[in-house]
Amino acid sequence: MLDAAVQLEHATIPPYLTALYSIKTETNPEASAIIRAVLVEEMLHITLAANVLNALGKHPDFEAQDFVPSYPTYLPDGESEFLVSIDKFSSTTLDTFLQIERPSKRGPQLDSELKGCVKRSNHHVFELKAVKPLKSSTYSFYSIGDFYEAIREGIEYLEDQANRKGETIFIGDPRFQVSNRYYYSGGGEVVEVFDKTTALNALELIIEQGEGHTHQIFNEQGELSHYYRFQQLKLGQYYQTGDSPGHPTGQKFEVDYKNVYPVKCNPKVADFPEDSELKQAALQFNENYQAFLTTINRAFRGGQEDLIGAVCGMFRLKECASQLIRNPLPSNPLMNGGPTFEMRYDSISVKAKSIKTWETA
Amino acid sequence: MNDSISTLQQITLEQAIERSNKSEYHACIVGSGISGAILAKQLTQKGYRVLILEAAPAKDMTYTGFKEYVSNYYRNPSKDNNAPYPENPNAPMPRSTDVSKLTPGVDDTKGYMVQRGPLALDSTYTRVTGGTTMHWEAKILRMLPEDFAIKSTYGVGLDWPISYDDLMPYYRLAEREIGVSANVEEQGFYGIKYEENYVYPMYGLPPSYLDKIVGKGIDGAEFELYGETHTVTVRPFPQGRNGIPNERYDNGSGFKPVGAISSHQVEQGGRCQGNNNCVPICPVQAKYDARKTLLDALRTGLVDFLPQAVASKVVVNRDDHSVKHIEFKHYSSTERSEFTLAKVSADKYILATNAIENARLMLASGLPSSSGLMGKNLMDHTYLLAWGLLPEAAGTMRGTKCTSGVADFRYGRSRAKQAPFGIDIHNDGWGWATGSPFTDIETLVDEQNRFGKELRKSVVDRISNQLLFAYMVEQVADESNRVTVDPEYKDALGNMRPIINYNLSDYSKAGIAYSRETSKVFFQRLGAEDFSSYSPLDYGYFNYQGENYYFRGGNHFSGTHVMGTSADNSVVDEHQRSWDHPNLYLVGSGSMPSIGTSNTTLTLAALCFKTSEYILDEISKQSVKIVSNSDFRLAKEAGHE
């Protein structure tokens, strides 16, 4: 399930990244800062989930065939579900972001058979493993928060069982733990995971920063949860300490949805004409993104010093994405290109290269 | 804590005056640059209440205010040190773009600093919240032990009243405050020493590819100088920017890097990304600036911060010459010159406005000091630039401005005869010397008629091979280099502007000439084509022994209220306390009797830590009055966050 957590956290990155890069330079500083802040924390969540996974002796697989979902993709929101797209920054996109980060609201009558889950008729639409409990063909998690609750309970249960036999489930190589030597940001620190306590701490941080399950605007560290960060954009005003949900009293600002490049929603390489510069750029972006995921994969499998080099990869991605986002489609000059995040899994060379380095690491 | 706007307790003029009248302030600090911020942090964390008078508006403490600076920089066609910071006639600042060739005997009044010559000095500082650390490069070197005693050792300049050993524990505090990235094993040379098992807060930043290429070419080069052999090694510089925290720091407790101000909204300022425009502004705030320290002080709740308050006069009591109050002009808008004249008093007064402004304010107040040295002994590092084109692409423009250099001409016997120097390898190409890359594009378009893809390729080809050595040459104290004031020259608020007399001695020129010779050897060893040329039309031009040179200022103003052993030979004592005015402290690089070949910020920050310790001791001896109230508990809690 934790590998699914890594996949789930990553699934938010293409939409957030595209929205961020679609904002014209030097406009909407508040929106840029807030989307960027959430993105950085999603990367922290990936790191935390990977650390827990590594502590259990497993490794995340950023190169798995289905790791990057095909957009639009479904995410659960209580009884219903909603679509997440790769799209420009807009009022609609913002609503989706708010839905992604919505605090979990437990339904009164959750099916007792599978905790935190509801039976859905359209269970099959969910592409992300995280949404579906193992081996279930009809049940999906009620919310992302419920999914993490399930992981937490699973770890506690399994570790208690193991402890009774004088064993532990935390058998991973501690050298695989990504530390703040290679990852740190303005808010939230990497938790290195060695045992039950540290594992639960790591998961707690993900839940708290993301969905904010306590329904508090600020957590104990004085950080805003993602939902309320985004809500500030909706309301055009910053929260400050002491505010109640929905009623920020901080500095006011205006969000300017016009100063955004008109990125095509959920673009695909096939949308760009053969031999067009956009197509070249889209292929280039995807190739770079895949190479980037390969680097990250290596980093979380014992080669964490590669995270330093991955920074250059991120600048390269930004450059590629900007070329797509700032240029019009030849077929429709009122609409611009965008990164498609379509990965190719027929390329054996990429896979082989990564495995080789992993073995030597 | 929810940072930024809410913790910045800007008070009104009326509130400040009321609290001043009730004798609530233990200290009044003028200026919120690194010196003022350190003093404010140290005093408030012990429970004392301070008032900070800041000449500039304070919106830069918010994220949007900061972003405006970054936008200004992107938009401004000139990329000089002060390009991001708006013009403010009420608290003007010098800009290098104001400097031009002087006519002998004629004052140049174009810029804020009146240039009286004979040489024009293009050094600058920044009058905004956070001070000049907003635009500093953040290369952060300790001085060599021998730099503290150049008069007694080499017979030049002035000695310090204290030694390297005296300052060593404070260097450590300053390196913690700034969050320095460096490796001890690469920095302990020519007498620089550290406490046992000391490690810097963060690991050293990696050298650039260019550094490695230059190192390969010039490492091991030997120079005979006054009977000593100087062997060249390219070494990394300590940096005041976030790198990888060292887990061994503080006996294994590690170090937590400080990110951007108001980080709860932006999550920025973690690791340095190598955006190459550290000067004039780090777009992601990975570079230290004094607002980070200031914010720690503000969090105690004991700082009253009054922006748009320009100190205009230090008023002293007749009997004991102690400071009675500070007069200041409070303006409501940078657009208008109307102001309210007000005064505040406190137990201690700390002038932390920088070497030029401290002396300017004292002289404008009619307080030249009993030694007569106020404003004299103005020093700065003198830069000689040498630039060439490498035979291979060297990745120029990658990394921060400058990651490595040469320290092997900073020491030794030659200091009796010629100025020593450090050498910077610049990662930003010829920018400083020629205005590259903008001038490169002009040349390629206008003279070579390039356009489109070919132009793009030519720009890359041309810039990737650029190499610039910046030689930072020591200048020693000389009373004829000085700051003065004259009622004839005033700013919009009617405050007297600084007048600069500046010249280079033969000692300086000999060092510059020798540094140029080493550049020729380096270029030769690297197979680089030497493009350096020094036009007689340049404002920094001078001729020495038949050769042409020009120099650039280093923005390291110092020496204007020099420290010493008595009221006869100095303005302040080793605690930066005025000899003449017992409750007045003049802090910052103005107190430094020599500057060696180190950028001045680390040493002045260390001095401020030393001074804060002394002031805390003084206050605790005098007053127990407010220390026991609830404010103190608050501050203590804040200190334990």
Q: Using one digit for the tens of pLDDT, what is the confidence trace for B226-239?
A: 999 999 999 999 99
d(CA A158, CA A11): 28
**A243 vs B contacts (CB less than 8 Å):** none
pTM score of the predicted model:
0.89
d(CA B259, CA B269): 4
The shortest CB-CB distance from A240 to any of B6, B257, B271 is to B6
d(CA B321, CA B236): 48
**Higher pLDDT residue, B536 or A303?**
B536
Comparing A109-118, B32-41, B88-97, B201-210, the range with the smallest average pLDDT is: A109-118
CB contact under 8 A, B2 and A30: no
Residue A101 CB partners (closer than 8 Å, separation 6+): A38, A210, A211, A212, A225, A226, A227, A230
pLDDT category at B449 given cuts 50, 70, 90 is: very high
**Pairing between β-strand B552-553 and β-strand B584-586 as defined by DSSP bridges:** unpaired
**B199 vs A contacts (CB less than 8 Å):** none
Residue A275 Cα distances to A136, A341, A347, angstroms: 45, 19, 21
B62 close to A (CB below 8 A): yes
The residue with tokens 């973690």 is: B270
pLDDT category at B609 given cuts 50, 70, 90 is: very high
The C-alpha angle with vertex A162 and arms to A157 and A164, in degrees rounded to 5, equals: 100
pLDDT category at A333 given cuts 50, 70, 90 is: confident
Chain A residue at shortest CA distance from B258: A186
| 3-class secondary-structure state, position B287 | strand
| pLDDT tens digits along B582-595 | 999 999 999 999 99
Looking at the predicted structure, is the pLDDT value of residue A7 above 90?
Answer: no
Question: Where does residue B537 fall: left (phi above 0), alpha (psi -120 to 50 degrees), or beta otherwise?
Answer: alpha
Amino acid at A176: F
**Would you say B423 and B409 are in contact if contact means Cβ atoms under 8 Å apart?**
yes
Closest CA to B38 of B140, B141, B176, B138: B176
Q: Which H helix or E strand runs over A60?
A: none
Q: What is the pLDDT of residue A75?
A: 80
CB contact under 8 A, B266 and A37: yes
**Pairing between β-strand B228-231 and β-strand B222-225 as defined by DSSP bridges:** antiparallel
pLDDT category at B564 given cuts 50, 70, 90 is: very high
Counting every residue, how long is chain B? 641
The shortest CB-CB distance from B263 to any of A181, A187, A189 is to A187
- pLDDT above 70 covers a percentage of chain B that reads 94
The mean pLDDT value for B271-291 works out to: 88
Q: What is the pLDDT of residue B632?
A: 45
Comparing B34-43, B155-164, B258-267, B484-493, the range with the smallest average pLDDT is: B258-267
| pLDDT tens digits along A208-249 | 777 655 567 777 666 788 889 999 999 999 888 788 888 998
Q: What is the pLDDT of residue B399?
A: 81
The shortest CB-CB distance from A240 to any of B2, B267, B271 is to B2
Looking at the predicted structure, is the pLDDT value of residue A134 above 90?
Answer: no
CB contact under 8 A, B67 and A250: no
Residue B455 CB partners (closer than 8 Å, separation 6+): B441, B444, B445
CA B568 to the chain's CA centroid:
28
Chain B residue at shortest CA distance from A42: B267
CB contact under 8 A, B6 and A34: no
Counting every residue, how long is chain A? 361
**B6 vs A contacts (CB less than 8 Å):** 240-241, 250
**Higher pLDDT residue, B576 or B621?**
B576
DSSP calls for B409-424: TSSSGGGGTS--EEEE
| pLDDT tens digits along B42-78 | 999 999 999 999 999 987 777 778 888 988 998 888 8
**Higher pLDDT residue, B66 or B151?**
B151
Closest CA to B310 of B90, B513, B491: B90
The shortest CB-CB distance from B265 to any of A37, A41, A180 is to A37
- pLDDT above 90 covers a percentage of chain B that reads 83
- pLDDT above 70 covers a percentage of chain A that reads 82
B9 close to A (CB below 8 A): no
The mean pLDDT value for B144-152 works out to: 98
d(CA B9, CA B7): 6
The mean pLDDT value for B169-191 works out to: 97
d(CA A169, CA B367): 74
Q: What is the pLDDT of residue B100?
A: 94
Question: Both tokens of residue A31?
Answer: 């929106």
The count of other CB atoms within 10 Å of the CB of residue B376 is 24
Min Cα distance B116 → chain A (Å) is: 41
d(CA A359, CA A352): 11
| pLDDT tens digits along B258-267 | 888 865 666 6
**Would you say B599 and B589 are in contact if contact means Cβ atoms under 8 Å apart?**
no
